[in-house]
Structure 1
């Protein structure tokens, strides 16, 4: 099954997310989280290290800085 179908977006929308034309919607983030059991922050921040407890009160560091 194609990744776009798994997260309920069109191939065109997925391509635009991959090209950083826009960020994934809340619904896409939740679909990725549920299907792949990821940290909820991962689709938003990628591999950056999050410090501070939650996504609303935190500092973000590049993983190479830690």
Structure 2
């Protein structure tokens, strides 16, 4: 697993956390910290981050292959 993959997964996790915070801002403060919804959000964040990282890795690999060789 390359450095770019780790970076992409980190970006995905950060995006997921931001999405969760924005989604939860509409709810009350206590329900944000309710165990079930928080655990559900954490699982979603991890899965979203992994999926985002894999997507970025795949796209970077395709870009590298389709790019003309440097002279």
Category of TM-score, reference length = shorter chain: under 0.3
Pick the structure with more strand per residue: 1
Query: Which TM-score applies when normalising by structure 1?
Result: 0.22
Greater relative contact order: 1 or 2 (C-alpha under 8 angstroms, separation 6 or more)? 2
